[in-house]
Amino acid sequence: MSASTQLLSNGPRREVSAAEERLGPMRLTQEPIQVLLVFAKEDSQSDAFWWACERAGFRCNIARTPESAVECFLDKHHEIVIIDGRHSRYFEADAVCRMIRATKPSEHTVISAVMPQIPSDQEEPSVLPLLSAGFSRRYLENSSVSACYNELIQLEHGEVRAQFKLRACNSVFTALEHCQEAVEISSEDHVIQYVNPAFEKMMGYHRGELIGKELTELPKSDKNSADLLDTINTCIKKGKEWQGIYFSRRKSGDSIQQYVRITPVIGQGGKIRHFVSIKRPYSDNHRQVHKLSKEEKSCGEHSQSECNSLRHKDRRKESVDVRSISSHSSDAPSLQNRRYSSMARIHSMTIEAPITKVINIINAAQESSPVTVAEALDRVLEILRTTELYSPQLASKEDDPHTNDLVGGLMSDGLRRLSGNEYVFSKSALHNMSQSQLAVPVPLNDIPSSIAELLNEEECWEFNILELEAATHKRPLSYLGMKIFSAFGVCEFLNCTEATMRSWLQVIEANYHASNSYHNSTHAADVLHATAYFLRKDRVKGSLDQLDEVAALLAATVHDVDHPGRTNSFLCNAGSDLAILYNDTAVLESHHAALAFQLTVRDSKCNIFKNMERTQFRTLRQAIIDMVLATEMTRHFEHVNKFVNSINKPMSAIEETSSSSEGSDCEGQASIRNSPENRLLIKRMLIKCADVANPCRPLELCIEWAGRISEEYFAQTDEEKRQGLPVVMPVFDRNTCSIPKSQISFIDYFITDMFDAWDAFASLPGLMENLAENYKYWKNLDEMKCKSLRPPPSQ
């Protein structure tokens, strides 16, 4: 056997790249490379790839079906997968690719499609469909062993090697994330690219505050010698490593002495591409080794050995604290001085957010605290820096699937994955009403006696909205709206006629979907009733002015207009027009608010705002929008916690400390309630509680509403399965769902704390009694293993 033949049979020798050398002893490749061939039938093409693998020294498996392909891939984790895309009668190559890409091990796998040769008289087809399916590249049918061999070798030296490097990088960054030393990586222009958690902890910054910033923008310590930065700059610009003692300034403002090692990283073209700074606090046992104040003259003026004598280990963020490390143009110094002056002015401004001040205070307190206290404060800082300050974390996904599904379905905007399935609203809501639907309803004085008798009870919490629904032929909102608006003087405040208000209510009600089992005009009327009930409570009434009351009533009326009976998560997953319009954020709530004003102003006959003064209208409009958006559940805990901390707790403290002086008690509480910020919180809490007050209704109403919302969720799950969309709330499967469990989870997670806070403010003993009784009812059903709304009939 000749030397050349032997080389081919064992596969080509790979040259080790500079990037691989820098990774030191870490091995990038898994020898030999594994290849999976997915061919339904054996033919010359599959044989050619098999022999090409033999020649390259690769291990090869063959799968004949999509299922066996996935099974084999999950077992072997192949680096290369070749799928036959020439014959769709056996399987769809795109579908096989997607099945493999859906597995976690495929993240670093190269998948190639074998496609038929293109006749010379046909146009070259686009590869975009293949890329969309998850393929990495295309191979045009060629049963030459040499052609297949060349393809495999190119894959190995190109995509496969790149994937090996990515795997290695993931491991390296994992090590950095857990490293005890602070690490900072900056670009050749000294723009921060990365800091690890140890760096964040040492310096008090969150990485989001640092990534993308130039080192010149960060505050400097005045404890360094005047020429130290020039010394560092001169050394590292020559591609030499610098080590020494350096003072950095923490976010809290105090200076920290550190050992710092700055290593230039040489990249493409032999140029410096990054600087890696490793830092650790300078402790007393190192001080006898280092006296660097005068010894740190220009590293460039010393030999390499002299430069090395100055090196010691240290670490932190200000490593290359570069004000004079810029090397741009000849006028860089003057530009840089101006920039530094501007940054100094910015840092002197008092523009810190309250949370920033809190974090700075805690950072300062850590300096003089015992270790145990400092560690506890570290945990406090971790919590304060999270973006989900107000969202409780569930212990585990398995603990309560009903709660997890409710949280996932109501408090997220889905998977943000667009698909070919488009969920479109009924028609354009602005054009879906016939003239017959808009006939002006009768005045209050001419309401049929049966409806009038029901409306006489509207001030009671026990008011039966379902009876009104039946009596009005599913048009309860118009009738109840006129009654409540009259009681609160809404027409007088808006300076509009009763006929205009009746037309407006009719238009709004016509844009609720009667086909929805839950989100229809009866739900809107129910929320309007609860809103009016809350507005009549003494403490609420004493906290809000008439504009607030009118805004609350109008917001309740429109808060779910044109609701499609599907959640925000569904619309985002389905790639609906509205989800795209509102960037997957508060999609429905934004639509409800926007459509309400569109419907109102499009026709003078129903424009209840047409006679308002502009400034007052703007204020009212903003209040309505804010309340409608508050019904969106992703910020549920934020609204509740702000209400508790800004209103409940301060008022409770006043009650406890001023029980002997009644006057000051009332005045202090009134000042808390009546501030603009807290009135905003009260209005948000009011409509949130009105929106989900079903568990606080009398038992029969509570049961009916539970059935309606469950049916709507069942219908959504059915449609998600039909359309192949992610199932947002799997427990709401009509064949397996336990309605009692879902109600228990909803009450436990969303209702109890919110209504405890609202009751403490508004005093609602009747509602809290209903809530306790209803909860007990659902608990009893659950203990009986009953999954339906009512217990089975006794035998």
Q: Is 413 annotated as a binding residue?
A: no
Bin 220: left if φ > 0, else alpha if -120 < ψ < 50, else beta.
Answer: beta
Q: SS3 for 297-331, per residue? A: CCHHHCCHHHHHHCCCCCCCCCCCCCCCCCCCCCC
Q: What are the beta bridge partners of residue 256?
A: 248
Q: What are the beta bridge partners of residue 243?
A: 261
Q: Is 431 annotated as a binding residue?
A: no
Nearest CA-CA partner of 92 in 40, 162, 21, 144 = 40
* Token digits of residue 189: 């222009």
Is residue 242 classed as helix, strand or coil in its secondary structure?
Answer: strand
Question: Which residue bears the tokens 């490390």?
Answer: 325
Q: Is 252 annotated as a binding residue?
A: no
Cα gap 113→93, rounded to integer Å: 7
Active-site option among 190, 290, 519, 529: 519
Burial (CB < 10 A; 0-12, 13-18, 19+), residue 488, is: middle
Q: Is 562 annotated as a binding residue?
A: no
Cis-peptide into 354, omega within 30 deg? no
Sign, Cα dihedral of 291, 295, 298, 299: negative
- For residue 529, indicate whether it is catalytic: no
Q: Is 328 annotated as a binding residue?
A: no
Q: Is 522 annotated as a binding residue?
A: yes
Cα gap 388→637, rounded to integer Å: 10
Q: Is 743 annotated as a binding residue?
A: yes
Burial (CB < 10 A; 0-12, 13-18, 19+), residue 283, is: exposed
Burial (CB < 10 A; 0-12, 13-18, 19+), residue 177, is: exposed
Q: Is 560 annotated as a binding residue?
A: yes
Cα gap 277→727, rounded to integer Å: 47
Tell me which DSSP letter residue 278 carries. Answer: E
Sign, Cα dihedral of 579, 581, 585, 590: negative
Q: CB neighbours of 80 closer than 8 A, spacing ≥ 6?
A: 33, 34, 35, 36, 58, 109, 110, 111, 112, 152, 155, 156, 160
Tell me which DSSP letter residue 369 carries. Answer: S
- Residue 314 near residue 246, CB atoms below 8 Å: yes
Nearest CA-CA partner of 610 in 623, 600, 619 = 600
Q: Is 286 annotated as a binding residue?
A: no
Question: ∠ CA(491), CA(495), CA(496), 5° rounding?
Answer: 65
Q: How crowded is the C-beta side of 726, counted as CA atoms within 13 Å?
A: 21
Catalytic residue list: 519
Q: Which residues are annotated as a binding site?
A: 519-523, 559-560, 691, 743
Binding-site residue numbers for AMP are 519-523, 560, 691, 743
Residue numbers in the known binding site for Zn(2+) are: 523, 559-560, 691
